[in-house]
Amino acid sequence: MNAALHFASALPRSSQARLVRLVRGRSCRRRPAPDRDTDSALRRAFALDLAALLNAARRSDLEDMAALAGIDRGGPVGELRARLWRRGAELEAGGTGELGRPWQPVPHVLGGRLVHLGPQRGAAPPSPRWPRPVPDPPAGEPAAPDEPDTLEDLLDRATRLLGVRLGRAGRDKGELGARVAHLLGVRELGHAEPDWRGEVELKTVPVVRDRGGLWRVKEDPAVSMDGVAPESKLGRVLWIARVADAGDSPILSWYYQERDAALDQLMRAALHTRPKGGAGDRTRGWYLHKRFFARSGFLFTLNGGPA
């Protein structure tokens, strides 16, 4: 059984046509497609992607699917999507034995949507459990050291910063990133050159707890000013995760990556420009869309595998 098409069969034709138009990027004001065209379009769009169908569906659509599947229709929309996905996966596999295997990964629920987190593609410190807990503050705040001599020294210092409270974020969010660099003994170079010895860029990433307790990226982090090729900054990056919904901004973890062909493709798809200042400010900068951190393994190192 194909669960996506089975669940879609519970919807009225108007809802099926709307889902097809959503995938095609067309205006929902267009008239529904003929039945046979809707059937084939649904198959092309969702036959192999149950999560995409459930993410595109409205609450009323999900409740219709739940009635067909014989499962509880209540609770937050993200939990309803997760129940439907699990039921659909069970129908396809004939049970639960295949769930969680590489060919049937279980999605996380982030922001009410089903998200398949990309595998870890870099180095990160170990965690005692998942989701990663906020570390206790260190006994004493590390003194600002001299510049690290090696990459191993840089990562060791990043580990010693786990749990350090950076303080309340002000209007200039770059202040916290500058403090992290200072504590690591790295002088931020700015412009087109990566921070540590022109080789490794330091970037703080604000993360918050989702409703279900998992970590998600709060907002797209800045990469560089417009006019500076962002690729020049992203060859080797030490991402520092800070907890943005805590008043003292504790350092949660770090994630070190070196760009390869797969990461390059993810980065290029996620890079975009937008204004950096307030209203009326024409200054623009390059940013990485939050989806990059779901696909690059960053969020996997904060949340681990789903239960």
Indicate if the pLDDT at residue 104 is higher than 90.
Answer: no
Q: pLDDT: is 71 or 100 the higher one?
A: 71
State the pLDDT confidence band at 96, using cuts at 50, 70 and 90: confident
Confidence of residue 43 (pLDDT cuts 50, 70, 90): confident
Helix (H, G, I), strand (E, B) or coil at 239: strand
Q: First vs last Cα of the chain: how many Å apart?
A: 25
- The secondary element (H helix, E strand) that includes residue 15 is helix 13-24
- pLDDT reported for residue 100: 78
Query: Start-end ranges of CATH 3.40.600.10 in the chain?
Result: 151-303
The pLDDT tens digits for 193-244 are 899 999 999 999 999 999 889 999 999 999 999 889 999 999 999 999 999 9
3-state helix, strand, coil in the chain (%, to 5): 35, 15, 45
Q: Is 283 exposed, middle or buried (0-12, 13-18, 19+ CB in 10 A)?
A: exposed
In this prediction, residue 184 has a pLDDT band, given cuts at 50, 70 and 90, of very high
Q: Which fold has domain 151-303?
A: ECO RV Endonuclease; Chain A (3.40.600)
- Name the residue among 209, 256, 31, 34 with its Cα closest to residue 110: 209
Q: Residue 257 class from Cβ within 10 Å (0-12 exposed, 13-18 middle, 19+ buried)?
A: buried
Residue 228 DSSP code: S
How much of the chain exceeds pLDDT 90, in percent?
71
- pLDDT tens-digit map of 57-85: 999 999 999 999 999 999 999 999 999 99
Kindly indicate the confidence band of residue 32, based on its pLDDT and cuts at 50, 70 and 90: very low
State residue 29's pLDDT score.
Answer: 45
User: In the predicted model, is pLDDT for residue 190 greater than 70?
Assistant: no
Residue 277 has pLDDT above 80, yes or no: no
